[in-house]
Chains A and B, each alone.
Chain A
Amino acid sequence: MRLSSGKLLHAVGLTAVVLFSLFPFYWMVAASFKTQADILASPPVWVFTPTLQNYADIFADTKVSGAIINSLIVATSSTVLAVLLGAPAAFALARYDFRGKSDLWFWFISNRMISPIVLALPVYLLAIQVGLLDTHLVLILIYLTFNLPIVVWICTDQFKSIPSDLEQAARLDGANQFIIFRKIYLPLGAPGIAVSAIFSFIFSWNELLYALVLTRRNVQTAPVVATSFMSGYELPWGKIMATGTVIVLPVTIFALIVSRHMVRGLTMGATK
């Protein structure tokens, strides 16, 4: 088969896309396997003898492992809470007609647009007053401001696609709305609920500003600890990049799972 110039150009273009997407990520992972001397080498080295020392160091460091556990606790709890609160709301938005419904829906969705710094200031003051500063709870709750909208949006969309005959049949059998929600919508809407949960988890896991402002020593999350390495003279680059890799790896896997829904999730359906 002859490789035409058009095909060649296409292949080169696609290869460039792959390199573009992966290079910074690759450079971080490579650095995580380098010694400090290799990282500081000028010009940078491309071929090196990999070492696992950086990973051994960060897993021995209770600060890093503690931060990852904190991130897990906060992201999981906030996700569970967002689904518990959001899925019923999505059911109501998908299935009932009532006045002000579209305004309510807009209000849910518009929460995603608000800059964290707007809420971080007052929540900081409130958290001091009620003694919630530096607790998991304050992060779990504040993360609902961006997790609830995503759950409500994706689940409403999903629930709307469930055929209503099932519901009518159940109603004839005497099922009330709560049973219909639990026995029909939850199981049939499970894929959408799962996607929205993964998105909530990713957003919570990646969040820095709230975590930076609302935590001190006890509840620092993984991004906060990774950021905190960035002061002082001799930066431990290998450890920093190993920490970065450990932080990014789980979310990347999750993101690949929901990659087909990525655009819908990030745009909240702006492109139908």
Chain B
Amino acid sequence: MSEAPTRPNRGYGRWTPAWFLAPAVLALLLIGIYPTIFALVTSFRRYNITRPRDGFPFIGFENYISVLTDSTFWSSLFLTAQFYVTVLPIQIMLGLIIALLLHKPGMGLLKSLARVTLVVPLATTYAVVGLIGRLIFNRDFGVANQLFEAIGVGKIDWLSSPTGAFAAIAIMDIWQWTPFCALIFLAGLSMVPGEIEEAARLETSSKLALLRYVQLPYLLPGLTAVMILRSADVLKLFDMVFVMTRGGPGSATDLISIYIQRVGFRIFDLGTASAQAILLLIITIIISRLYIRLFYREVH
């Protein structure tokens, strides 16, 4: 500190990076952090905008206590977790199968076509996925029931029975996100050095052994990425489910984002909803720290 700086001239001053960074940092602080602080403050108030006459008094941890003792809050968190453990294994399995199909040599044109079509589910607007779900899973004229009847399962009351509705949103989520898993795994498979894969193919004719001993190590980073990213996405999941079921019937598809939205914007109990949102934020921060720790430890 006391010595004169003797570092080489890098062609820029000490504050130059700040000039480039300041606009983005200030914007995100204002748009992201300021509202978060506002939510934190609101979470300590009684804040129901349908009853402005009460004022918005500070009530300490009362909102948090009522949220943490609210069985609906816990059950929608539990339902979110249940959704995650339902869709994720299927997405991973299907994604892996598709990736292996796409990785296999041959079938040039058909393979390119399959690869390109994988982008379609990923690009489809989430709300529109919900609309499609409403059409496909209609009890009377939905094509899902036609297909199920064809294989002898019979009519299912998709959107108006709890299990049916849960299955329907799970199927739409699997449709939308399996391609993502497939593309990640495909990227992993293409990292396997060609010579090693060739040599392994000569050694063994077992596809399973090849997968387990040669390809799996290259698939693991992608697998971790899928698990963490999907867990953050499921916590955010709103659009498709809102359009398809609004959280119903009853609370069968009342995932955490849907529940908080209902408390905030149907019941207008913004104090309670803010406390819920802050708790959700804490869960998200834990997950994203995990994400950073797993992926970016070695960067920089």
| A interface residues (Cβ-Cβ under 8 A, vs B) | 7, 10-11, 13-15, 17-18, 20-22, 24-25, 27-28, 31, 39-44, 84-86, 88-89, 91-93, 96, 98, 101-102, 104-111, 113-126, 141-142, 144-145, 148, 152, 171, 176-178, 181, 202, 205-209, 212-213, 222-223, 226-227, 230, 237, 240-241, 244, 247-248, 251-252, 254-256, 259, 262-263, 266-267, 270-272
Contacts and interface: CB of A to CB of B under 8 A. Distances in A.
A28 B39 contact: no
Given A18-B117, A125-B270, A41 B141 contact: yes
Given A85-B27, A148-B24, A248-B124, A113 B284 contact: yes
**When A and B form their complex, which 10 residue pairs have the shortest distance between CB atoms, in order from nearest?**
A255-B123, A89-B24, A270-B225, A92-B20, A122-B35, A223-B127, A122-B38, A21-B117, A208-B239, A88-B20
Interface string B253-278: 00001001100110000100110011
The secondary structure that dominates the B interface is: helix
A11 B110 contact: yes
B117 to A, nearest CB: 4
Contacts, number: 297
Contacts of A176: 12
A178 B17 CA distance: 10
Interface stretch (B62-70, B100-108, B194-202, B209-217): B100-108
26 contacts: A14-B101, A17-B102, A20-B175, A28-B128, A28-B131, A40-B141, A89-B23, A96-B17, A102-B296, A109-B292, A110-B285, A122-B38, A122-B42, A141-B27, A181-B20, A206-B127, A209-B238, A223-B239, A240-B131, A241-B131, A247-B128, A256-B116, A267-B184, A267-B225, A270-B224, A270-B291
Given A104-B25, A148-B28, A121 B264 contact: yes
Nearest to B273: A121
Given A44-B141, A213-B261, A267-B229, 9 more contacts: A10-B101, A44-B142, A117-B277, A122-B35, A126-B35, A148-B27, A222-B125, A227-B127, A254-B123
Contacts of B142: 44
A206 to B, nearest CB: 4
A98 B38 contact: no
A208 B126 contact: yes
A223 B134 CA distance: 15
Interface in B8-41: 11-12, 16-21, 23-25, 27-28, 31-32, 34-36, 38-39
Interface size class of B (residues with CB under 8 A): 35 or more
Given A39-B141, A267-B225, A96 B16 contact: yes
A208 B246 CA distance: 13
B114 interface: yes
Given A114-B284, A263-B184, A271-B221, A121 B42 contact: yes
Contacts of B28: 107-108, 111, 144-145, 148
A88 B25 CA distance: 11
A17 B127 contact: no
A28 to B, nearest CB: 5
A109 B28 CA distance: 11
A11 B114 CA distance: 10
Contacts of A205: 125
A271 B288 CA distance: 15
Nearest to B181: A263
B32 A24 contact: no
B90 interface: no
